[in-house]
């Protein structure tokens, strides 16, 4: 800061009453920058305050925020689970009651026995897909 700037600053702060006869353009610009700096400092120093009349509304806002239920995602998972369950039940019902036997389902022999002495039982599926139970005996049974 040089001498003329100090003089401008003192005058700006009200510490000097000396008025220059013809202020230079630089001095005017410097004074304008000081004014801008002061306005900025005033704004930065502003502290919002809650007036007594505003206090009930302020507290009401805090209370609402505390008491409001917290949002979470359990509802989403419950809906997803129910939807999946409904889909599976519908699918099962369709398969059981809907289209009847599948083409790939074939007649199946679960068990086969005989009481003919000495005879044996075979179970197989022949070339045309027919399930067969065949009892092999001697032509003359042993009685």
Partner 1 sequence: MSIAGVAIVLAVLVGSADQALEGPVTFSLVPVQATKENRPAGEKSFGEGLESFRTSLEKLPFDTFKKVKSDKASATANKEARVPISARYTLTVTPLAKDGEGRVRVKVCVEEKAEREGKKVVRKAVDTTAALVPGEHLLLGGPSMDEGRLVIFIAVEKEK
Site stretch for partner 1 (CB under 8 A), options 28-36, 46-54, 61-69, 75-83: 75-83
Under rule CB under 8 A, which residues in 89-128 are in contact with partner 1?
89, 91-92, 95-96, 100-102, 105-116, 119, 121, 123, 126-128
- Binding residues for partner 1, rule CB under 8 A, total 46
Closest approach, Cβ 138 to partner 1, in A, equals 9
Q: What are phi and psi of 7, to 5 degrees?
A: -65, -45
Tell me the two tokens of residue 8: 């401008």
Q: Residue 64 to residues 43, 48, 77: CA-CA distances in angstroms?
A: 32, 22, 27
Quickly count: other Cβ atoms within 10 Å of residue 125's Cβ. Answer: 13
The CA-atom distances, in angstroms, between 24 and each of 6, 20, 57, 80, 121 are 14, 9, 54, 78, 127
Query: How far, in Å, CA of 59 to CA of 65, rounded?
Result: 10
- Asked if 137 touches partner 1 (CB under 8 A), the answer is yes
Q: List the x/- string, 15-54, binding to partner 1 by CB under 8 A.
A: ----------------------------------------
Site residues (vs partner 1, CB under 8 A): 77-78, 80-82, 84-85, 88-89, 91-92, 95-96, 100-102, 105-116, 119, 121, 123, 126-137, 139, 141, 143
């Amino acid at each position: 800061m040089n001498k003329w700037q100090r003089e401008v600053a003192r005058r700006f702060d009200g510490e000097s009453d000396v008025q220059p006869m013809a202020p230079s353009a630089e001095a005017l610009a410097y004074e304008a920058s000081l004014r801008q700096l002061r306005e900025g400092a005033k704004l930065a120093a502003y502290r919002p305050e809650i007036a007594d009349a505003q206090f009930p509304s302020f507290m009401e806002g805090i209370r609402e925020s505390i008491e409001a239920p917290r949002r979470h995602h359990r509802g989403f998972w419950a809906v997803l689970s129910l939807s999946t369950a409904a889909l599976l039940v519908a699918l099962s019902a369709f398969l059981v009651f809907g289209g009847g036997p599948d083409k790939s389902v074939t007649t199946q022999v679960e068990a086969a026995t005989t009481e003919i002495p000495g005879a044996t039982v075979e179970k197989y599926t022949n070339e045309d897909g027919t399930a067969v139970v065949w009892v092999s005996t001697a032509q003359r049974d042993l009685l």
